[in-house]
Chain A
Amino acid sequence: MIPFYFSDSQAPLYGVLHEPTDGPFRDKAILFCHPVGHEYFRTYRMVQLLSDKLAKQGYYCLRFDYHGTGDSSGQFDEMNMNTWQQDIIDACDELRSTAGCEQILCIGLRLGAALALKVQPQCYFNELILWDPIFEGQTFLNKLSNLQNKAFRQNWHFSTVRQDSELEENEFLGYRYSTPLTQQLEHLTSSTELMNLSCPCTIIHTDNNDQLSQIKIQNKHNFLILKHINDEGNWFFHKEIDSSISTHNINQFILETLS
């Protein structure tokens, strides 16, 4: 596990490379695209453990923080989806040159999955694994807002009820989403990308999603595989906004799929 900075030296991205340790060396490397906001922290440990295990199966893995998130440079409240999409493109280039692999498999989580879909034409991912991807940005924002309201009104995190007036504009669970980011999220929809997708893509979903079945039917190339895994998602459970998730079944599924 090697942490390093890459991309623009004045505004670097923080990445962690997991080099293959055991097993046959693979001709495919794996790029992880994190969620953002509070979900980033909830999944960090799980992604790290999964990267470790995949490296033991012979894969180069790169996980990295988008600008304004984690240990990368920049302020979250100055970011938007264009910046993060460019970050994925830069990370993909970095992984191709470091690992010496042309083929890249991208594992995207939540908003990271939606971002990965958007940059597929530039990154030429050979395969995608999307875990609970965000298909509709407006729904995501509504759910974030509801989750925050619940956290404010119930005495799990706070001993007194907090008011919305105590928040900054577009502040959701500890992060201020910039106006451009909020507007992009309001218009975000991944259905078109999924219907036109031209590489194999597995969608792991932890809740029942009728929309997915419709998209699968409409995918031109029949590349979509849907996998429902009854594992810990709890993305919108107010008591768990600050706890790490452990997803044994999902990790196991990914490890077996890529073994």
Chain B
Amino acid sequence: MQYEICLIGLNHRTAGVEIRELFAVKDSRALEERLLAAPGVREAMVVSTCNRVEVLGVGRAGVDLAQVAAAAWAGHCGRTPVELTPHLYVHANLAAVHHLFCVASSLDSMVLGEPQILGQIKQAYRAAVENGSTRVIVNRMLHKAFSVAKRVRTETGIGASAVSISYAAVELAKRIFGDMRGKTAMLIGAGEMAELAAAHLQSAGISGILVANRTYERAVELAKRFSGRAVSFAELLTRLPEVDIVISSTGSPTAIIRARDVKEILRKRRNRPMFFIDIAVPRDIDPDINSLDNVYLYDIDDLKEIVEENLAQRQEEAAKAAEIVDLEAGKFRHWLTSLDLQPTIVDLLSFGENVAKRELKKTLRRLGPDVSPETEQALETLVLSISRKLYHEPLVFLKRRAREEQSADKFIDLARRMFNLDVEAVPGDAHRDRVGANEAGDDELGDDELDPFGGEDCAGGIPADEPAAAPAAPVTPNGPTGPTGPAGEDGRD
């Protein structure tokens, strides 16, 4: 092969958080440029999240890409490669492809199947494309990775069920109430998990949120965050009849909602169902109320159990997903073997197009301003199709040689020299259509398929530990981007 692919990186398994902090890449663009400046490196892309950094490079055969990349990366972070290499994994060629597919499909994530990583890779790829640091191989690899990730998501149940306590609670609420519109939730006491659940409920479209707290000021503050209303602790019971979902997490040593209160409340509500989520220890809500009709009570242990079951289920689905990844990586190998030809084809075609466009511009200038748009369009189509047709036969010839002979190198080399392709700079917009395709792909992967909070890969622990790992999650009320909380500004993995 003419080119080699190399992927080096570190993640939550190979490096502790201190190391990940040291080698996090804030400015991926600078690192990509640093890499491309090294001799023999043709393409580069960097993905950096709080749980992983992946540096992907493509270079001429014979260059020790892994070393070049490690040196550039360590240099970028103001460190020496000696500090970095013990924590690195290195994948070459097909192994690199396989690894990238795994990462994009979230098989390599801390929380298996969490959806954020795909978005983060898409973002990194877009930045790299805008930076002009990707070409044929990386483009193809990433596009394949996105489609593999989509296949995994639709064909396996890897992202199907909630793996965080707060999200599991919201899923249950949806099972009971269906549509969240017109429903009201009440937060009793403030805690990270309760706030996270409230944020989930809000993005599910709940109509109103009431907040009750022993310190009224805190209630007011929380209510403001969720654009809800604060309720004083004393009037808690009188407000309950208008509430459908109760999330309780106070530090009270005794139960604050008793079964006989709930009976009375139900009568006032004309038996409309109520869902109580008790995430306090010791429990805030009398467990007996679960035996009342139209009342559902889940405590922290119930929710934990659901989450654990779902996680186990994801493990099972991961095996299926791994098969898909293997299959697709195998397909990619075919493409790789015919790869040497691809850049030449692209270069050749864009060379022709450039000539055609240049000539078109000249002609149009000569024709003056009276040319109608239709004529202009027709002229453009004409010159472009001539330029393509001219190269058709040579391309067929090259493709046939590539297929029939072990190495079509000499012909490819000949073509490159004939058309002077290696001197001519590749036009800046050579990847333009590919970017468009990527964005279209984005939309296909609708958000509703994704569990926007289920992942929490960045929380630094299993999701059951959500509150502990998120000491000061700034839960903002506006949607999925809200509780990015814990790990902070440089995105989530």
> Do A and B interact with each other, yes or no?
no
| Residues of A in contact with B (beta carbons under 8 Å apart) | none
